[in-house]
Each structure stands twice: as C-alpha cells, then as structure tokens.
C-alpha cells in the first residue's frame, strides 16, 4: 500500500500527503503512520513514478516476436541486430549490449559491445536492467535512417511487456523506449523485438552476457542513476519484515498454554466434526473465555473469581481436573490416558511444548472432555 502511494504521480493528492503522514505527533497517530514507519529504512523518495496508463489505447504497439528466430534481412537498406542482456551479482545490477551493424550498400559487418552498471541490487532487477539497456541503445542510434533494427533478448517478460505495456514497475523505461521508436520510425527505420530461448545458441547474445557480467564485477562503479523499482522495493520490504510465526507476547496467554501451535489444519480437524453446541464448549475451554468465575470476574460479570467449591479460583484447568463438584463427570475423560492426566493441552487438542513435529491431537480425549463439560451444565447460558 505504501509503495503504491509513492509511485503515484505528484499531481495525485495521496502522493502529496505522504510527507505529512510521517510528521504526525507522538500520540494519536493514524494507521497510515504505522504503514509508513514499517518502510522507514528504505529511501522511498527515489521510487519510480507509475502513471495510470503507459500508452493511449489508439497508440500502435511495437512489433515483437516470441517464436522462432528468423534469418537476418538482406534487402536494400541497413540492417542492425542488437543483443541485450542483464546480470545481477555482487549486490549490483548491470546490463550488456552487443551490436552487429550492416550499413546499406556495404556488405562488411561492424561490431560493437558496451556495458553499463545500472544500480544496486536493492534498487533494480534483471528485468528493469534489460529495459534500461534497450532504451539506452535506441537512444544512441536515433540518427540512423532506413535501417531495420532488431533487438534480441532472452528475457521473455521484457518482450511481453513491450508488446502490451500496462501500469507496472519499469513503466518509465517502457515509455522511453516507445518515444525513441517513434523518432526512429520518422527517419524511415523499422524496429522490432525478438525473444531468443535459452536453448538456442546465439553468439551475439553470448557476447552481450559477457558484457553484462563485466558490469557487475566487485570493483564496478555505478554509471547511471535510475529510479528505484517498485517491484524490487516491495520484495525487499517483505524480506525484511519481522516474521509473524508467533502471537504477540501479550495476546492469548491461556490459548498459548493450551496450544503451542498456531491455528492451522489441526484446528479445523478439531472443530469440523463437532456440533454447534460441542464447538461452543470447546472454544470456551481453549480460549479461556468461558462461563467460569475466573473469566466472568475479569470482565465484571461476577462478584468473585472463586469456584463454588470454595477451594480455588475457577479456571478452565480447575474446572476440568480439580473441582470436587465434577469428580463423577470426569471419570470417562481421565480413562483416555495414564501419562497425560492433568495435561490441559492433551485434553483440549493442543500441542504441548514437549511434543515433537509429528504430534497430532487425540480426538477421543477431546470429545471426552467436551462431553464432561456439557454434562456439568456449567458452561451453558443461564
């Protein structure tokens, strides 16, 4: 959500409000402030801008080919093949370009190769590097006239994006490519893009890959300053987010005692085969929010937290295992085990800290606990 807001154009009121969200007072902060605070370690000001649309519906799309590679044209006029490739290593992203040029009325081929270290890996990705390389090489050949220019790449996503551009990361490079293509077309040039499968051998693409790897050597220096990609920023934020594989410390103390595992398949296994009444009783016992004085007193619904037996506080554990009033009701329940008597997790289908990974709830014991609780009538509404 926060990255979406920062990629909006400056004319959008939501984008203009991002700075004010960060300046809220210490107290009474809005939920949006917490969203902004989660990404405070990332420089969002350098994030790319994504407009509502890349091209107007009536604008012509470029010619792309994701099928079999065709032979180079030999008709009159110049012909140029440009292979682009990208590399992401050593915390850098770079691109390589290899050019094969055949001028008109000249059968001699000319070759050229170049490389560019685009940005840090936390800002760019191979997909955006390919688009940036295409835009760069088209900008260098805008003075050509009467050429057929074919750009080759092994990045299928880049070719498909150029065929049907939309509201997405890398939009700025796509817009730049289309503007350059229009300039080339006005000079009588024809531009097309072609995807080459990795299973096909292509010397020009191999040379471009070597250039791209040279751009990402350990001692390489950044040569361009490109906007930070939204997709890369979002993936980085997700990877750095604190894992939520446990409940917060102050939430569900009783539920944690009953079940050390987070709700999952075993929870559905417990409830799916129960009637509404049985499921209600089990939910009370597993959450601790039961019609027992220990909980009722805490929510000011009872005058005391003591059990009617007068021996202790009426908790779920006391109710199931120790209260003298229900001794006869728990006889069947206690017969399901000799080693786990008094174990709240075992009788309520939860995982104990001592259980291994192959643990599974003992459904017969759980049903016996439910029958015992129902027989007392203690958890029913009065």
Give the pLDDT confidence score for residue 162 in this predicted structure: 93
Return the residue matching tokens 């531009």.
191
Question: Rg of the Cα trace of the chain?
Answer: 33
Q: CA 365, CA 21: separation in Å to the nearest integer?
A: 53
Confidence of residue 254 (pLDDT cuts 50, 70, 90): confident
pLDDT value at residue 282 = 95
Q: What is the mean pLDDT of residues 189-213?
A: 93
Q: What integer best gives the mean pLDDT of the chain? A: 87
For the segment 276-292, the average pLDDT, to the nearest whole number, is 94
* pLDDT tens per residue across span 113-157: 999 999 999 999 999 999 999 999 999 999 999 999 999 999 999
Structure tokens at 109: 């081929």
- Asked whether the predicted pLDDT for residue 101 surpasses 50, the reply is yes
The predicted structure's pLDDT at residue 5: 86
Q: What pLDDT score was predicted for residue 357?
A: 84
pLDDT exceeds cutoff 50 at 72: no
Name the burial class of residue 317, with classes exposed (0-12), middle (13-18) and buried (19+) by CB atoms within 10 angstroms of its CB: buried
Q: Compute the distance between CA of residue 326 and CA of residue 294 in angstroms, rounded to an integer.
A: 17
Statement: residue 37 has pLDDT above 80: no
Please state whether beta strands 78-89 and 63-65 pair in parallel, antiparallel, or not at all (unpaired): unpaired
Distance (Å, whole) CA 224 – CA 172: 15
Helical ranges in the chain per DSSP H: 2-6, 13-16, 18-22, 31-38, 126-140, 156-163, 171-186, 203-214, 230-240, 253-258, 265-271, 276-287, 293-298, 316-317, 331-334, 344-347, 363-376
Could you give the domains of the chain?
Answer: 2-41 (no CATH), 63-238 (3.30.420.10), 253-376 (no CATH)
Lowest mean pLDDT among 62-71, 96-105, 297-306: 62-71
| Cα distances (angstroms) measured from residue 339 to each of 85, 260, 336, 346, 372 | 65, 19, 9, 10, 19
Question: What does the block give as tokens for 125?
Answer: 């990705």
- Dihedrals phi, psi of 138, to nearest 5 degrees: -65, -35
At residue 245 the predicted structure's pLDDT band, cuts being 50, 70 and 90, is low
What per-residue confidence (pLDDT) applies to 19?
67
Amino acid 12: pLDDT: 87
pLDDT in tens, 20-36: 665 555 667 777 777 77
Of the chain, the end-to-end C-alpha distance in Å amounts to: 47
Distance of CA 6 to the CA centre of its chain: 17
User: What is the number of alpha carbons within 13 Å of residue 143 lying toward its C-beta?
Assistant: 1
């Amino acid at each position: 959500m926060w990255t979406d807001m920062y990629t909006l154009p400056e004319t959008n009121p939501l984008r203009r409000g991002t700075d004010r969200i960060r300046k809220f007072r210490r107290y009474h902060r809005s939920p949006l402030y917490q969203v902004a605070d989660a990404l405070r370690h990332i420089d969002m000001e350098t994030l790319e801008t994504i407009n509502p649309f890349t091209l107007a519906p009536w604008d012509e799309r470029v010619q792309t080919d994701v099928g079999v590679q065709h032979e180079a044209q030999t008709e009159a006029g110049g012909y140029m093949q440009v292979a682009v490739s990208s590399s992401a290593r050593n915390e850098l992203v770079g691109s390589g370009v290899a050019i094969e040029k055949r001028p008109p009325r000249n059968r001699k081929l000319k070759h050229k190769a170049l490389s560019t270290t685009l940005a840090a890996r936390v800002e760019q990705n191979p997909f955006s590097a390919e688009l940036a390389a295409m835009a760069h090489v088209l900008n260098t050949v805008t003075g050509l006239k009467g050429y057929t220019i074919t750009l080759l790449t092994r990045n299928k996503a880049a070719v498909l994006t150029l065929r049907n551009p939309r509201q997405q990361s890398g939009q700025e490079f796509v817009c730049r490519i289309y503007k350059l293509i229009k300039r080339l077309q006005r000079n009588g040039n024809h531009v097309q893009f072609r995807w080459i499968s990795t299973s096909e051998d292509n010397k020009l693409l191999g040379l471009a890959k070597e250039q791209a790897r040279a751009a990402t050597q350990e001692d390489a220096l950044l040569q361009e300053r490109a906007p930070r990609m939204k997709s890369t920023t979002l993936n980085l934020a997700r990877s750095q987010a604190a894992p939520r594989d446990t409940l917060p410390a102050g939430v569900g103390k009783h539920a944690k005692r009953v079940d050390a595992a987070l709700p999952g398949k075993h929870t559905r296994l417990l409830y799916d085969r129960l009637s509404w009444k049985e499921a209600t009783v089990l939910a009370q016992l597993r959450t601790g929010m039961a019609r027992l004085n220990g909980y009722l007193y805490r929510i000011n619904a009872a005058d005391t937290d003591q059990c009617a037996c007068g021996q202790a506080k009426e908790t779920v554990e006391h109710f199931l295992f120790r209260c003298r009033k229900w001794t006869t009701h728990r006889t069947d329940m206690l017969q399901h085990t000799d080693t786990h008597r008094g174990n709240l997790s075992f009788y309520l289908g939860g995982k104990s800290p001592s259980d291994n990974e192959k643990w599974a709830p003992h459904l017969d014991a759980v049903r016996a606990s439910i029958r015992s609780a129902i027989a007392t009538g203690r958890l029913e509404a009065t």
